[in-house]
Structure 1
Amino acid sequence: MIAIDFEFQQWQWQYQISTTFFICVILPTLYYLYSKYITKSPNNYNKLESPLKVTIPIPEEARPHWKGKRLYPPSIKLDEEPDKIQSYCPATGQYLGTSNVTTREEMDEKIELAKHAQINWASSDFSIRRKLLKTMSRYILENQENLARIACRDSGKTKLDASMGEIMVTLEKVNWIINNGERILKPNQRVGPSNFLLKFLKSAEVRYEPLGVVSAIISWNYPFHNLMGPIIASLFTGNAIVVKCSEQVVWSSKWFIKMVKECLKTCGLDENLVQLVYCFPNDADYFTSHCGLNHITFIGSKPVAHAVVASASKQLTPCVVELGGKDSVIVLDDVKDMNALNSVILRGTFQSAGQNCIGIERVICLPKSYEKLCDIFTKRIKDFRLGSDIDQLDEIDMGAMISDNRFSQLEDLINDAVSKGANLVSGGKQFQHPNYPQGHYFEPTLLTDVDSSMRIFHEEVFGPILTLIKARDIDEAVSLSNSTEYGLGNSVFGSNFTIINDIANRLHSGNVAINDFATFYVAQLPFGGVKKSGYGKFGGEEGLTSLCNCKSIIMDKPYLRFFGVQTSIPPPIDYPIEDDKKAWNFVRCLNIAGYDPRIWAKIKAIKTLAKSGN
């Protein structure tokens, strides 16, 4: 008995050792070998896809302690030279350079160069495309401050705003596509026919093919991200791209395109895959109606979108149109951490001086949260510090606006609201910076007691103005949120998920964040609006596939092809029709056999088909 027990214990000990060895050594080894040599996942490390080192010196104007001449007054237009665009820093008024506008002949040439380069790129392997994107990602990661300084110099924003709104979201997009792009763009097997007979005969799939030369017409508020996003998606889908940047940010756009071309060149690829054009509105119609463009992504304002879409319709060029918004935040009374929430709202309102398509334009609160936020914002906003943090040693909270051409409009909106009962708590006018009097600064503004009778409730502000609106209950809050012509994004904050999730379902917009703000880009979801905020989507899976021709393929099942069997026209319905009644009965029975849910009806129909098909 003792011997048996000893043998059992020895066996148990050996079993435990072998099990531990299997779990700790054998399984990890097998998994490593499987991951490295067997799986074909694009996420696996591949030396052929290793990023390359790219070195590009940044412009002197973006370096610390740069002293450039100041313009009096600063303007992008030169009266004596109407075919040139003058670039300057909105925060300081410093001159950045002058560029000749892209002529119509040059547009033709750039589109043709892109078209020629795309021919080979269309059939490039996904591993080559990933290597390019990894090279871009590595450069961005290693040069974050330089890229931020370039974006700041041309847009007037702070480095922190550039890091969050330009660099982080671009890194997310490029790495998300590296990890998921091939899976999304591989041929997509579909379920095939619902017909009982055809499902055994036919298989179906969708193949995603590049469109050719696509274009992106982008706004100035995020000169790096808005330019890089379309480029990254277009190149990975096998397209070439011609970007039309805003005339407000030509200086930085030229350098960012130079960076992309250097990445292409370093990877041994054709630099002509990416082109840049810039012009004034009088030549924009020529570009948007160009027969060489196969797709247009437009990011901008509603009035300009009307012209873009009308022009593109001349060539039936498909468009994705992302316009402005009047985004709301609905705050319920059961929010637990009001201090955390108010910081989110301040960031969503004042980042990049409020020049955000998905910036917070309306804060709609239930009564208790309204009073709390009024008190908090009154204290915090008055302490905001304005300036250029790439030039000053001081801590800066908010930068400049892109120009001063809308200051009078902002003041009109504020005055209209005050005349109708709103309370101007702070701000409300242009700010004269003591160090940079040429800079385009507008005071951070807080308006309370705003209601739907005021223009500022309905019209897009696109500036540093926070408006607080009180709602009696949830139904009124949802009604107020939905009562503008826009429908880009919204946020809902509360503690009861069932309630806030129901609110999200009731909001008329393309994007909703629950207990968060505008993290759609970070999640790489399809992005776009409804109503007058535009149509179509970019970002995420839909953003990639929208840049492709979704080609539907129907074919015989593989086992039929193996035996050499092909689809043919049955004799009863072959031309010339020999017997009309027999032909009709054949098709009738074919429909019954294919779609009638009754088993006996199917059997009878198939029997008839077998007889009449001979």
Structure 2
Amino acid sequence: MIDIDLKFHQWQWQYQISTTFFVCVIVPSLYYIYSKYITNLPNKYNKLEEPIKLMIPIPPEAKKNWKGRRLYPLSIRSTDPTQIQSFCPATGQYLGTFHAQTKDEMNETIQKAKEAQKQWAKSSFIVRRKLLKTLNRFILDNQEDITRIACRDSGKTKLDAMMGEIFVTLEKINWIINHGEQTLRPSKRYGPSNLLLGMMKNAEVRYEPLGVVAALVSWNYPFHNLIGPILAALFTGNSIVVKCSEQVIWSSKWFVDMIKTVLKLLDLNEDLVQLVVCFPEDADYFTSHPDLSHITFIGSKPIAHKVLESASKELIPCVVELGGKDAFIVLDDVKNLNDLSSIIMRGTYQSSGQNCIGIERVICLPKSYEKLVEILSERVKTLRLGSDIDQLDEIDMGAMISNNRFERLQELVDDAVKNGARLLHGGKPYQHPNYPQGSYFEPTLLVDVTPQMQIFHEEVFGPILTMIKATDIDDAVELANGCEFGLGNSVFGADFSVINDIANRLDSGNVALNDFATYYVAQLPFGGVKKSGYGKFGGEEGLIGLCKVKSVVMDKPLLRLLGVATSIPPVLDYPIKDDKKAWGFITSLNIVGYDFRIWNVIKGFKKLARGGR
């Protein structure tokens, strides 16, 4: 009997395990395969959408061991006020001089985009997907060339460019290919809530192109920040004019020319994508241009004020994605702090810390704090600086875009030390032996930072890791919320219910639980709160935000088939013949439509049948 009982319980346990595995692993896996691959088979294998292969030569400046002359001093300002100079931040090599556009030239550029968009607005999703698939193939086939171009103009490492420029762009392209049309199809909505009117009407929301949209993009990701708005604009049927940062004109011009080449190859109008090049002080004319229907701005808060003031002259709607002071909260029950330190290192020092969602503040509970300080102090000092597009040496961190903020970074470090912080590594510019004109700043580790220090509140946007000790969870949340920014945050802990509750209490636009920055993916809307900006790009919300959202109401198909049309009831027709009847009719209509008491509804129907009497 005991043996039978034991076997029964063993069988029951195995059954529970098998059922759990099936429900938790097999079913989600099958659903993922179905949703990602099976439902998208028509798009993936549509012959009309077959991408075209193309070859575009890499510019000589991006080739390995290019011998360009050094520019000294490093400045975008030329002796000619109409010219903008480009240089490699990692080496100081001169990349070229570019003409800053006049107002008339901006007018001409926007007009070209406006004319091209008229026909493009009527294009099919098949054509739009073919364009994106061709771009996708080109990027995949030329990953190294694109990273080399981005690195030459920004100073970052090839690995940082591959992760931050190529990977995220491919993800965005493929999400739009797979889900963009579904997002932009007319959205069916319920008709009126009123019982009688709801029986007569259908409703839907339609998404139509805005026209000419604009994007003002920052320099820290010269490929991804530029191509992201272009992808969304073209797929929604708009044309786009991009104003790139004057810091990365050389690469921006090549990237835009690449997209124009793809458009031309597909017999599409290359004027759909335009590039504006000018100094910041001349951008007001562009951002207040009456032919622009929307502006996406990626940059700093001070510049956003100018953009919004300028755009307000023509009431141009804007999405503004600004800086961050992202917190990385570590609870005391985190198991593997060594693995966690790797995430902190990547989140802080990738692209020399020049990331809007980079880790700006590591906030730890006491037990985790001391251990992490010990681990990170050993790791930070091993980081190697340089430029890996010209040499075979292993490089961890590249240059900053320029040295124009070095003085401010040192001031922030000095202020923190003066007020009690400990500087364990770095804190000053670094003169590279091979690239003495490069814009390098030492990887910096500051610990024991408090809210009384300037660096706690001010966005660093550089390779400085700050560590802050919290007394408990409530204190950690208060510290994370204790600055004017609210872009992204991360929370790490063993108990999901605890970290999930913390996520609900954080005042930011994005939160990653037991991970870092995974909310910056193609399917999710991205944007901040407070002084980190407003509006969203990315995901369904990003595509819809580039559309006219048009509400349309129509008679139900059966009524149209029977030839029944909407008409004004005689009792309500002008001139009103009997005020008392009209009043009775409309009050009864309200009762029938919105009263939940059945007897009142029956009486309302009777009164309507009598014409309001």
Contact 1:571-1:613 at 8 Å conserved across structures: no
- Aligned match of 1:204: 203
Contact 2:522-2:538 at 8 Å conserved across structures: no
User: Separation in 1 of the partners of 2:113 and 2:91?
Assistant: 37
Task: Give the deviation of 1:40 after TM superposition.
Answer: 8.9
Task: Give the deviation of 1:44 after TM superposition.
Answer: 4.4
User: Separation in 1 of the partners of 2:245 and 2:357?
Assistant: 19
Task: Give the deviation of 1:191 after TM superposition.
Answer: 1.8
Is 1:71 aligned to residue 71 of structure 2?
Answer: yes
User: Separation in 2 of the partners of 1:126 and 1:600?
Assistant: 52
- Aligned match of 1:119: 118
Q: Deviations over 1:333-377 (max 9, x none)?
A: 111121111101110000000000000000000001101110111
- Aligned match of 2:459: 460
Task: Give the deviation of 1:207 after TM superposition.
Answer: 0.2
User: Separation in 2 of the partners of 1:339 and 1:266?
Assistant: 50
Task: Give the deviation of 1:521 after TM superposition.
Answer: 2.4
Task: Give the deviation of 1:43 after TM superposition.
Answer: 3.3
- The one-letter code of the counterpart of 1:145 is E
Q: Deviations over 1:222-261 (max 9, x none)?
A: 0000000000000000000000000000000000001100
User: Separation in 1 of the partners of 2:181 and 2:370?
Assistant: 50
Task: Give the deviation of 1:523 after TM superposition.
Answer: 5.0
- Any residues of structure 2 matched to 1:14-413 within 5 Å, and which? 43-78=43-78, 80-413=79-412
Number of residue pairs aligned between Structure 1 and Structure 2: 578
Task: Provide structure 1 residue ranges, at least 5 long, that are not aligned to the other structure.
Answer: 1-33
User: Separation in 2 of the partners of 1:603 and 1:554?
Assistant: 28
- The one-letter code of the counterpart of 1:47 is K
TM-aligned CA distance change 1:41 to 1:54, over 3 Å? same
SS at match of 1:612: coil
User: Separation in 1 of the partners of 2:541 and 2:590?
Assistant: 35
Task: Give the deviation of 1:39 after TM superposition.
Answer: 8.2
SS at match of 1:43: helix
User: Separation in 1 of the partners of 2:390 and 2:608?
Assistant: 84
User: Separation in 1 of the partners of 2:397 and 2:418?
Assistant: 28
User: Separation in 2 of the partners of 1:373 and 1:195?
Assistant: 61
- Aligned match of 1:604: 603
User: Separation in 1 of the partners of 2:612 and 2:119?
Assistant: 48
Task: Give the deviation of 1:613 after TM superposition.
Answer: 6.9
- Aligned match of 1:533: 532
Moved over 4 A (4+): 38-42
- Aligned match of 2:18: none
- The one-letter code of the counterpart of 1:561 is R
TM-aligned CA distance change 1:309 to 1:210, over 3 Å? same
User: Separation in 2 of the partners of 1:237 and 1:382?
Assistant: 47
Contact 1:358-1:488 at 8 Å conserved across structures: yes
User: Separation in 1 of the partners of 2:391 and 2:73?
Assistant: 22
SS at match of 2:95: strand
Is 1:520 aligned to residue 519 of structure 2?
Answer: yes
TM-score normalized by the length of structure 2: 0.93
Contact 2:246-2:277 at 8 Å conserved across structures: yes
TM-score normalized by the length of structure 1: 0.93
- Aligned match of 1:506: 505
Task: Give the deviation of 1:65 after TM superposition.
Answer: 1.4
Task: Give the deviation of 1:519 after TM superposition.
Answer: 1.4
- Aligned match of 1:421: 420
Q: Deviations over 1:268-292 (max 9, x none)?
A: 1000000000111221000000001
TM-aligned CA distance change 1:584 to 1:42, over 3 Å? farther
TM-aligned CA distance change 1:40 to 1:137, over 3 Å? closer
TM-aligned CA distance change 1:39 to 1:251, over 3 Å? closer
- Aligned match of 2:591: 592
User: Separation in 2 of the partners of 1:85 and 1:527?
Assistant: 32
Contact 2:354-2:463 at 8 Å conserved across structures: yes
TM-aligned CA distance change 1:394 to 1:288, over 3 Å? same
Contact 1:201-1:557 at 8 Å conserved across structures: yes
- The one-letter code of the counterpart of 2:608 is L
- Aligned match of 1:3: none
- The one-letter code of the counterpart of 1:140 is I
Q: Deviations over 1:577-599 (max 9, x none)?
A: 00111101100000001100112
User: Separation in 2 of the partners of 1:169 and 1:93?
Assistant: 28
User: Separation in 2 of the partners of 1:235 and 1:280?
Assistant: 26
Identity %: 71
- The one-letter code of the counterpart of 2:247 is Q
User: Separation in 2 of the partners of 1:88 and 1:352?
Assistant: 17
- The one-letter code of the counterpart of 2:59 is P
- Aligned match of 1:28: none
Task: Give the deviation of 1:416 after TM superposition.
Answer: 0.1
Task: Give the deviation of 1:524 after TM superposition.
Answer: 2.6
User: Separation in 2 of the partners of 1:42 and 1:107?
Assistant: 41
User: Separation in 2 of the partners of 1:613 and 1:543?
Assistant: 49
Contact 1:114-1:242 at 8 Å conserved across structures: yes
User: Separation in 2 of the partners of 1:564 and 1:370?
Assistant: 75
- The one-letter code of the counterpart of 1:419 is K
Contact 2:294-2:546 at 8 Å conserved across structures: yes
